[in-house]
Amino acid sequence: MQFSSSLLENAVNEFAKLPGIGKKTALRLVLHLLKQDSKEVGNFSEVIAKMRSEIRFCHRCFNVADADICSICSNSIRKQEVICVVESIRDVIAIESTQQFNGTYHILGGVISPLDGIGPDQLTIDALIARVKKEATEEIIFALNPNIQGDTTIYYIQKKLELSSIRITTIARGIAFGGELEYADEMTLARSLQNRLPVENYVTSR
Amino acid sequence: MQFSSSLLENAVNEFAKLPGIGKKTALRLVLHLLKQDSKEVGNFSEVIAKMRSEIRFCHRCFNVADADICSICSNSIRKQEVICVVESIRDVIAIESTQQFNGTYHILGGVISPLDGIGPDQLTIDALIARVKKEATEEIIFALNPNIQGDTTIYYIQKKLELSSIRITTIARGIAFGGELEYADEMTLARSLQNRLPVENYVTSR
């Protein structure tokens, strides 16, 4: 791509560094910003810079926060004794969107994956263990992606905890609502048969 | 979407204002930036703000420029007597990428489209007329999108120019290279028949 302005070129190159954004899309975004009011673009740029420099991570659950403790951990209405263990901030947002969970979170920052060079030390597992030992935790819910790495991580943490007094659960795996049995993979179908629910439970849980 | 940090939320909202970027993509981009070095994000933000506040438009052709006159208009190697009339900056970049054009441009900023409320006054047509009258223009090449609005604009400008000494052309319309006759619309096929080329021309022009 040939540009007649280095200012434009630099801006396009910066946008093209973002994941999933190629040169053409970057150009479209930059030309859009060029049409906007100078003040608005200034605001865009300022908000991004401020976000990166001022954002903090909750000391307790490692979620993004505006202070030392995030708004979920400091919310006394939420059940602080229930911890939902997730991989990333994105998962917290997904679960919060369901408005069905009223406990707290713990963000691992990934899952154990030796092939990618990620071991337990790179994750916040030790902090989770320490947190559980310190606090009066009643239940730990694992909400990790259902794959080998997720299962390994659950197994590892469960072994490390060795606390029989705490209820340890994982989110249900099965056929997605609206999905079709015919197209489900064998693993999912097999698990959903193993973990079948009494119909009265199913009806009330809807 | 529920966010535990207003800094994060603001950044996501700013990204989601961009065309073709929804909330989920915006979140993905913001979380990507969050993982980057603070200096790099600062640079991203600075380049965008600088682009918007410092970019200028060429006084002669209305292309984006770093100075009063763009790098194409100030390039003495290019044929300053040939003007390629295009709709937008994006078209300039597309034509420049072919490396087949060695003249200058004139960016209209759109095409005449009464349905969208765009008349000749909103475009840089008067500036083009004035430029052609002032300069020793030899040829005007219209490279507008082949549709009714583009054709109307060509007709309007051509009438306004009333200068028989200047060669006025438009880029060829026909079946795209690699396209199939079977799937071409009638208008395109009819025009490409009308404007058929002698085979020796075709072979040498490749």
Interface membership of A68 toward B (CB under 8 Å): no
Distances (CA, A) of A190 to A37, A89, A174, A180, B139: 57, 30, 9, 14, 73
B122 within domain boundaries: yes
What amino acid is encoded at B8 in this protein? Answer: L
Domain count for chain A = 2
- Three-class SS state of A55: coil
- Cβ B70–A46 below 8 Å, yes or no? no
Whether residue B85 contacts residue B94, with contact meaning beta carbons closer than 8 Å, is answered with no
Whether residue A104 contacts residue A61, with contact meaning beta carbons closer than 8 Å, is answered with yes
**Of residues A21, A31, A44, nearest to B48 (C-beta):** A44
pLDDT tens-digit series, residues A80-120: 999 999 999 989 988 888 888 899 999 999 999 999 999 99
A206 within domain boundaries: no
Examine the domain organization and report whether B50 and B135 are in the same domain: no
Question: What pLDDT does A200 receive?
Answer: 67
Residue pairs between chains A and B whose CB atoms are closer than 8 Å: 172
Percent of chain A at pLDDT above 70?
96
Examine the domain organization and report whether A88 and A147 are in the same domain: yes
Examine the domain organization and report whether B83 and B165 are in the same domain: yes
- Cβ A63–B4 below 8 Å, yes or no? yes
B166 within domain boundaries: yes
B165 within domain boundaries: yes
Burial B85-97 (b: 16+ CB within 10 A, else e): bbbbbebbbebbe
Kindly provide the ipTM of the predicted complex, given to two decimals.
0.79
Q: Which of residues 90-149 of B touch A (CB under 8 A)?
A: 90, 92-93, 96-97
How wide is the angle at C-alpha A32 spanned by C-alphas B44 and A17, nearest 5°? Answer: 30
- Cβ A4–B71 below 8 Å, yes or no? yes
B70 within domain boundaries: no
**Of residues B5, B51, B97, nearest to A1 (C-beta):** B97
Examine the domain organization and report whether B86 and B159 are in the same domain: yes
Specify the CATH number for the domain of residue A167.
Answer: 3.40.1360.10
Examine the domain organization and report whether B103 and B147 are in the same domain: yes
Examine the domain organization and report whether A37 and A81 are in the same domain: no
Rounded to whole angstroms, the Cα distance separating B201 from B134 reads 34
B153 within domain boundaries: yes
Examine the domain organization and report whether A41 and A106 are in the same domain: no
**Of residues A2, A18, A54, nearest to B7 (C-beta):** A54
pLDDT at residue A188 tops 90? no
A163 within domain boundaries: yes
Rounded to whole angstroms, the Cα distance separating A21 from A138 reads 44
Domain that holds residue B36: 6-54
Residue numbers in B near A51 (CB within 8 A)? 7-8, 10-11, 30, 33-34
Categorize the per-residue pLDDT at A166 as very low, low, confident or very high, splitting at 50, 70 and 90: confident
Which two structure tokens, joined as six digits, stand for B165? Answer: 């000494």
Question: E strands within A19-152?
Answer: 56-57, 64-65, 82-86, 104-107, 139-142
Specify the CATH number for the domain of residue B36.
Answer: 1.10.8.420
Residue B144 CB partners (closer than 8 Å, separation 6+): B85, B86, B87, B108, B111, B150, B151, B153, B154, B170
- Cβ A48–B14 below 8 Å, yes or no? yes
B90 within domain boundaries: yes
Closest by Cα among B120, B10, B122, B135 to B60? B135
B31, B45, B86, B105: best to mutate for the A interface, most A CBs within 10 A: B45
**Of residues A34, A54, A65, nearest to B52 (C-beta):** A34
Examine the domain organization and report whether B155 and B119 are in the same domain: yes
Examine the domain organization and report whether A89 and A160 are in the same domain: yes
- Cβ A38–B45 below 8 Å, yes or no? no
Examine the domain organization and report whether B134 and B98 are in the same domain: yes
Examine the domain organization and report whether A84 and A167 are in the same domain: yes
Angle between helical axes of B89-98 and A23-35 (0-180°, round to 10): 150
pTM for the whole thing? Answer: 0.77
Examine the domain organization and report whether A82 and A38 are in the same domain: no
Mean pLDDT, chain B, rounded, equals 88
